[in-house]
Structure formats: structure tokens, C-alpha cells
Amino acid sequence: MRDRFDRPLRDLRISVTDRCNFRCRYCMPRERFGEQHTFLPRRALLSFEEIERFVSACLPLGLSKVRITGGEPLLRPGVPALVQRLSTLGVETALTTNASLLRDQAPLLADSGLDRVTVSLDAIDPQTHASMADCTIPVETVLEGIEAALENDLGPVKVNCVVQRGVNESEVPALVGHFQGTGVIVRFIEYMDVGRTNGWSPGQVVHSMDLLKELQREFDFVPIEGESPSDVATRWAHSDGSGEIGFISSVSEPFCGDCVRARLSADGHLFTCLFASGGHDLRAIIHDGGAIDELTDAIAAVWSRRTDRYSEMRSSETSSLPRIEMSYIGG
């Protein structure tokens, strides 16, 4: 089953909550996600059983990977139980987390069959971390979470760092140095115009090639071949074999042509693009609990009409369209 541009559905990101204990300024700025913000009520969230049905319904369409995300997924109680249900279906399972709760949950997650963990970390420097994440959870807690992931073999562990001009560029070599030789792969992500609350402007984006040039003054890197065309990162290895880094250049080198990814919000809306103006409300059919084939047909109907390629078309015209927030749709 392919969309209008011949792209299969291989990868599903599942948001299990829209809440978070961080307020990263580029994702959930406190002015917009403060006390007054209305999050999804508990009763609106898909149950783990419903998420499992949804994933089962995607299998005949070619789905092979799921990533549990949010909001902060580990705030939702019982994520290891969800992972266990999904791994039993035979899909590869991954988790994206801010790692604030990972130290305690890593052993249970490992037992549940989780294949991989990605931790978001934008700075090693405590002050820069505190001001970017706008929270009181210290960077040490995140680093302990990463350690716990390594100790429990939740690998290969990746660290994602969103780079913002004038905010954390100086953290880039520090992160590379910190994780060199540890087996952790650090990937630098171009700051994206997701949602409508972060005040994004093109001038805040640091292009991956400029970052690489800067890094090459200090480190010696050699390019590595990507594993598959749908790999979103370009990969570079330390020439002495002490590890690798990656760049996700969603702004300067969009990869819509190979985008095989769908997103399911915590309350059962299916999104076919990170920059979608709206989702497809599949709640009725998910809650219905009827035959799985009906759900498969509904997902196939959405996917087969898909024409998204926002990043390739990014312009002043597209940037004025409404866009869903990343904490809701699942990053």
C-alpha cells in the first residue's frame, strides 16, 4: 500500500500523552503551555489495548517500526506494559524521551522488549540545559537516564540535540566530546517550524553542513553510508573508530521523498505529516472494538490519499498555514 508519491507506511509514532514535565522553549513555551493550558483529559487517551489494535491494523499495510513518544511518554504510567504488547506483535519498538524518568524505568523497559531509546538533550552545560528545557530537573538526571539505558542494553542509544542559533551552538562540540567513546550516537537536528507557538524564524536554524564544518576543526570525521533510503540522518564516524554522530537536516535538506512515517495522537487522530494542519479522527472506529479489517481499511484510505511534502515546499505561503503542536502529534 503506497501513498500518492509511492511511499509505503513503515513507521508509526505513537503519542501516549500530550503532557510534559519540561517546557522546552522550542516545543512547549511556558507562556503558551502554562497553568491555563488545557491538556487532554485522561479519559480521552487511547487505552493500551486500543493502541495495540491500531498497530495490529497497520501490520497488513507494511508497518515495521513503532516509536512511543509524546509529550513525555514516561509520564504515562505503564509504558513498559505497552511496549511488551507491541513487541509481541513483531514490530521494532523504540522510545523517545527527555530521560527525566529513565533511570528508574530502564530495567522494566529492557524487560518489556524495547529495542531502542532516543534521549533528547540539547546541552551539557547545566545553565544552558535549564534555560532551554525551562525546568528544574537537572542535566545530571538526564545523563543518569542515558547511563541507565546503556547499562540495560537499550541500544544503540541515541541522543537528539536541536540546535538553535545563538542558544546552544557552543554545546555541539561539548556533546560530541562527552559521548565520544561511549557508544551513544549524538544527532544534531535543525530547528524546525513545527506548531505555531515557538516563534520560529529561518535565522534561528543552523544548517547541518555549517555545523559539520565547525566540528571538523576539532574532530576528524569520515562519512558512513546510510542503512536505508528512509534513514533521516546523514552519518559520520570518528576516524579513530571511537563512535559516530549524525545530522538531521529537515530544513536545509528535506527528505519528504522517502518519508514513510505516520503519527497517532494520544486521543486517536492519525497525522500523515509533522506539519499537518489537521489529523484524521479515527476515534470512533478505534473505540468501536469491531473487526480489525475495518480499521486497516480506514488507515489505508487515509494513507493512500497522502500527498504531504511540507518540508520540500516550505515557503512564506506554507508557513502561514495552521499547524499542530509537536507535543500533541508526537515528535
Binding site for ligand SF4 (CB under 6 A): 20, 22-24, 27-28, 70-72, 98, 120, 254-256, 259, 261, 273-275, 308-311, 327
Contact of residue 179 among ligand SF4, ligand SAM, none (CB under 5-8 Å per partner type) = none
Instruction: Say how many Å lie between the first and final Cα of the chain, rounded.
Output: 24
CB of 235: closest distance to ligand SAM in angstroms? 18
CB of 165: closest distance to ligand SF4 in angstroms? 18
Contact of residue 149 among ligand SAM, ligand SF4, none (CB under 5-8 Å per partner type) = none
- Exactly one of 11, 72, 171, 244 binds ligand SAM (CB under 6 A); that residue is 72
- Inter-axis angle of helices 48-58 and 79-88, nearest 10: 30
Query: CA 240 → CA 78, 175, 247, 254, distances in Å?
Result: 41, 18, 19, 30
- Within 248-277, the residues that bind ligand SAM by CB under 6 A are none
CB of 71: closest distance to ligand SF4 in angstroms? 5
CB of 299: closest distance to ligand SAM in angstroms? 22
Contact 170, 124 (CB under 8 A): no
- Cβ atoms within 10 Å, residue 281: 13
Report how far residue 112's alpha carbon sits from residue 231's, in angstroms, rounded to the nearest whole number.
25
- Within 139-178, the residues that bind ligand SAM by CB under 6 A are 160, 162
Report how far residue 122's alpha carbon sits from residue 60's, in angstroms, rounded to the nearest whole number.
38
- Residue 326 sits in the site that holds ligand SAM (CB under 6 A): yes
Q: Measured from the CB atom, is 103 or 309 closer to ligand SF4?
A: 309
Residue 291 CB burial class (10 angstroms; 0-12, 13-18, ≥19): exposed
- Exactly one of 198, 249, 265, 311 binds ligand SAM (CB under 6 A); that residue is 198
Q: Tell me phi and psi for residue 146, to 5 degrees.
A: -65, -45
Report how far residue 259's alpha carbon sits from residue 92's, in angstroms, rounded to the nearest whole number.
18
Q: Measured from the CB atom, is 58 or 326 closer to ligand SAM?
A: 326
Report the SS3 class of residue 187: strand
Nearest in space to 118 (alpha carbons), one of 138, 94, 82, 92? 94
Report the SS3 class of residue 263: strand
- Exactly one of 70, 80, 246, 279 binds ligand SAM (CB under 6 A); that residue is 70
- Residue 189 sits in the site that holds ligand SAM (CB under 6 A): yes
Residues that bind ligand SAM (CB under 6 A): 20, 26-27, 69-70, 72, 96-98, 120, 160, 162, 189, 191-192, 194, 198, 326-327, 331
